[in-house]
Structure 1
């Protein structure tokens, strides 16, 4: 039995596709099960609720062999630590209680770098992994750079105004990864009953790209000029403050600053941690249809 958290999100939804293709026995924890595809609902067991709820995870982890753990921090959390650590503690206790053998988590790059303790949301995700590591389960933490798919949040700007923005310097080259590749890596681990111990697994995509290089590729694929505009940290802070508590908004800003200073550059790319989807391929297959 594999338990999947956040099954209606981009990563979780694509992960379910892989697991269903492998005929795995699946249980999902979902606050809104109605968001699942009807064909998926017919093939999975559903526990309704939040995976931060002690009663929900106690129920969901009964008889589980593996858990996929993905935490989308509560935008109204009172602190980054509370949003990650306090949310995860009930799950770690339930994993220990039910003897769950393996956990695969989604986290951020940065462990062992100078930015580890001052990277906001990423710092919170690393603390989350420390909680999971204390659960007694074997753990693989998938360490993420920026997601290509995050550009979809700016689809209307790209479509209607021909630009996208971010606080990173335009010429800073960083790894980028497609969520479908994250899902594939997670599925392989969840279906593998042999690995043991605690380890971090960078998932880096096939190449490092700057925002300016991304804009050039987007322009070629979309057949129109797309520009990158760097956002000041003050403007970014104001944007992040919309709908978020002050600590979470500041955590987003701290993460952006750490990434601009080199947070995502601490892991060397290898054949083992490079995933196949290039940014150009992602633009052709995901962004272009979204922009229309």
Structure 2
């Protein structure tokens, strides 16, 4: 039995699709934890065991982890007014950590971030909290693989309106600074492979780095080419980002977490892992723009 958390999100939803195709050949049954089962596709809902509730709830994870062999773990986005990043990550995960031990779950695959071992890892906001969550899960004694991810290509979908209407996107990065980018579908594929072949033991990270490092200048050129119109990059200052997040109702803990993460990315947070054939996930930014961004902009 494989338990999937966040099965209606970008990563969890794609993972569910993959496992619905591949799990039967491995003799695996699937269970999902979801707040609203109606958000699951009808075909998926008919083929999985559904536990309704939050995977941060003690009773929900206790029911969901019974008889489970493996768990896919993804902490949800932090609530805008979370009192602390610890509450949003390790705090949210503590009921599940206890349930993993209670039910003797053998393997967990979690979505995390790059940065462990870098000089800025202890002051990287959301990433620092995510790494602490990994440590909590690993402390239960399960075999654990943390998918260590850079910035998601799919984050650009939040800026579809600006790209479509103004021909512009923003980040806080210097125009020529290159860094890895990953597509969420590749993260889901990496999770599926680990969940279906559980021959691994112990605790480790699995980097999902994409096939190349790109700057935001490179991204602008590729988007312009794919969309057939000029797309420009406008650098946002950290002060402007802080004001924008506060204006959207985010509390101090989450605002500080975002600012610290973005500052740390500029200072090399995502540069600590060398790209190897195993870490070089396949989706190029150009392919992602053609298959994901362009249809979203045209829609």
Alignment length, in residue pairs? Answer: 292
Q: Please state how far the C-alpha of 1:184 moved relative to its aligned partner.
A: 0.3
Residue 209 of structure 1: aligned partner = 214
Q: Which moved more, 1:98-107 or 1:244-253?
A: 244-253
1:56 equivalent in alignment to 2:60: yes
Residue 266 of structure 1: aligned partner = 272
The correspondence for 2:103, drawn from 91, 98, 102, is 98
Distance 2:286 2:38 in 1: 34
Residue 138 of structure 1: aligned partner = 143
Distance 1:187 1:75 in 2: 30
SS of the equivalent of 2:137 reads helix
Residue 15 of structure 1: aligned partner = 15
Residue 43 of structure 2: aligned partner = 39
SS of the equivalent of 1:153 reads helix
Residue 115 of structure 2: aligned partner = 110
The correspondence for 2:69, drawn from 32, 50, 65, is 65
Structure 1 runs, 4 residues or longer, greater than 6 Å off: none
Q: Please state how far the C-alpha of 1:193 moved relative to its aligned partner.
A: 2.4
Alignment of 1:96-175 (within 5 A): 96-175=101-180
Q: Please state how far the C-alpha of 1:31 moved relative to its aligned partner.
A: 1.1
Q: Which moved more, 1:144-153 or 1:26-35?
A: 26-35
Deviation digits for residues 29-84 of structure 1 (CA, Å, limit 9, x no counterpart): 11121111111111111111111111110110000000000012233210011111
SS of the equivalent of 1:117 reads helix
Deviation digits for residues 166-222 of structure 1 (CA, Å, limit 9, x no counterpart): 111111100000000000000000001211110011110000000010000000000
Distance 1:52 1:231 in 2: 34
Gaps of 5+ in 1: none
Residue 276 of structure 1: aligned partner = 282
The correspondence for 1:192, drawn from 192, 197, 200, is 197
Residue 239 of structure 1: aligned partner = 244
Residue 249 of structure 1: aligned partner = 255
Distance 1:240 1:169 in 2: 20
Distance 1:64 1:4 in 2: 10
SS of the equivalent of 1:189 reads helix
Distance 1:193 1:148 in 2: 28
* TM-score computed with the length of structure 2 as normaliser: 0.96
Gaps of 5+ in 2: none
Instruction: Give the RMSD, CA atoms, in angstroms.
Output: 0.8
Distance 1:11 1:238 in 2: 29
